[in-house]
Chain A
């Protein structure tokens, strides 16, 4: 199976110290990989680097053939191919507060893919239904429970059908039943051929649902962490 995400020799400096040094690993299609480690070790930073939200200092990141190099973040227009390849679910979900759940999902379909409103709403309704929040389509983000908001955020991240899905601390606000539900959902997404990279310090969840775990140690990190 070919790698969907390849990280080679990644180095990120922060406040003139090495936060991440020489990190290399890969995520294949159909695979769930958990990035483990204590807080402050750089898990979220790695997700942000892959999502093109943060610059890095050395190494290379390749997402489904699209390569990111060290240095400043490229202009948004040059990152377009990356945006279609990577979906990110933020830890606090970051749903657009001024839009309904449905409109959160249709936004990119309409304004990035140029779909008509009915077309986008049809697809978004289907996505929300698949994630068991179809009945909450009209709700505002502040009316959603933590679990519901997370599912809407996953639906939003999947709207452009990216092969790679990144999730930051997905179980942080979930009770036991919800964690099981989320695990099942993630397995289903992986079976559809997506690669999933989760930043988590929930060892139990990683053991139950991830195919592999990459443990990051506190600085200075090992040269090769996989």
Chain B
């Protein structure tokens, strides 16, 4: 088989594998997020194609108890576990999945198998001043989005005036705490301890008092309540026979509170729901939908402000780049060409990370400013090419006419070339602005909560993408359609406009 044939065969093989991955009815297919890492689920350093962690062993124990085939792992983004399990991507979601009233109403949830404490981490220097959430008025507190901890912070924003900062992962909050971008991090004690260990046990401390108590559960599709009951039976058995304790001890997450939890669960007549200490943080679903409207409006404002400011920066820098490329001396032309190719040839996401995290050692930009700079500098490269094309599209006789009239090159650029180029540039600039409006959703990776991120949080909380997705789409269209219309009108009017 030649190279092309081999490549096609390989692609077909992968496609077939992807299409048939649900067809392994013998195995217990479970989903988790290996990006969440140890001790929950992580890629095994010895064999990165497999996973390990206490949730992996819990899944294996469940599969064994069900007399199923082996447990088979499916990677899923942590915030999408609920959606994926309802879609049928896998039967059981396990990966530090929290027990919440909303999850209980929307899905089939197992009994709690692990008890965690929401703990605050603060910089070592602050440990005497900060003892709890109430000491953090007006301070920035980070956590993972769409978690109980985030709900606690939102509630605390209203009561104590702290500033919640939402992250997509549980590593960067601690990095930002040490870097001084955050004043505290609120997360599960397992995650906090892991972060402290990773940081060499320095830089921050974990406050002993728990801000709340929560439990990890397995989540199944609503229709799978029979399977859930079987899994509950296996979990009870694993609590009784000590196999669950062994798993937790192996991963060094066993403590007295787990024993107490097992006792409560195994007590005759005990129900599954033991979500003590945080019911107040999660309100009923219908009022939640309404409650999210102001935050959606605020997030739309962030998107709009960020897009306008980034575009303004992109236009200014783009003009400078285009002028440098057309009029500058050779070194400047080489530099501008290099910049444009570098920026257009690398992903915006990478640039966001580099500017926010990569440059943190040199200049510690606030998240919004970093987002603005990254978007602005990225789009500047595209604008520069538009302006260069538009400037070059102005017919040569127009420039020569300016020359024969005695205008200087600068005057020709300002009075003849640029005003005409602007007309050519209007349409592609509008397209770019609409694209920027949508690309601004990427900045959520550096903790800026804009429209799409807020929608994702909303969707996770109400357990459906239908209404939040529709609302979000309407808001984006409401922002982009008038802009396109305005630009078309300007384009027409600039068919003839006085200097």
Contact = CB atoms under 8 A, between A and B. Distances in A.
Partners in one complex: yes
Interface of A: 51-53, 76-77, 80, 83-84, 86-88, 90, 92, 94-100, 103, 107-108, 111-112, 140-143, 156-157, 159-160
A83 B405 contact: yes
Contacts of A53: 400, 403-404
30 contacts: A53-B403, A76-B409, A77-B408, A80-B406, A83-B404, A83-B406, A88-B401, A88-B404, A90-B397, A90-B400, A90-B401, A94-B397, A95-B401, A96-B398, A96-B401, A96-B416, A98-B416, A100-B496, A107-B415, A108-B406, A111-B407, A111-B411, A112-B405, A112-B406, A112-B407, A142-B495, A143-B496, A156-B405, A157-B404, A160-B405
Contacts of B397: 90, 92, 94
B25 interface: no
A93 to B, nearest CB: 9
B404 A84 contact: no
A98 B408 CA distance: 19
Nearest to B400: A53
Given A108-B405, A108-B406, A142-B496, 15 more contacts: A76-B408, A83-B405, A84-B406, A90-B397, A90-B400, A96-B416, A98-B497, A100-B498, A107-B405, A111-B411, A111-B415, A112-B405, A143-B496, A156-B401, A156-B405
Contact of A98 (B395, B404, B407, B419): B419
Contacts of A98: 416, 419-420, 423, 494, 496-497, 499
Contacts of B401: 88, 90, 94-96, 156
A51 B404 CA distance: 7
A173 to B, nearest CB: 15
A90 to B, nearest CB: 5
B405 to A, nearest CB: 4
A53 B403 CA distance: 8
A97 B415 CA distance: 12
B496 A108 contact: no
A196 B21 CA distance: 85
Contact of B404 (A86, A95, A96): A86
A94 B398 contact: yes
Contacts of A142: 495-496
A92 B411 CA distance: 22
A81 to B, nearest CB: 10
A97 B406 contact: no
A80 B404 CA distance: 9
A111 B499 CA distance: 12
A103 B405 contact: no
Contacts of A80: 406
Scoring A97, A100, A141 by chain B CB atoms within 10 A of each residue's CB, the highest score goes to: A97
Interface string B146-183: 00000000000000000000000000000000000000
Contacts of B419: 98
A108 B400 CA distance: 13
Contacts of A95: 401
A24 to B, nearest CB: 24
A97 B420 contact: yes
Given A94-B397, A96-B416, A103-B499, A76 B403 contact: yes
Contacts of B499: 98-99, 103, 107
B90 to A, nearest CB: 62
B407 A99 contact: no
Contacts of B411: 111
Interface string B468-499: 00000000000000000000000000111111
A147 to B, nearest CB: 19
A83 B416 CA distance: 17
Contacts of A97: 398, 420, 496
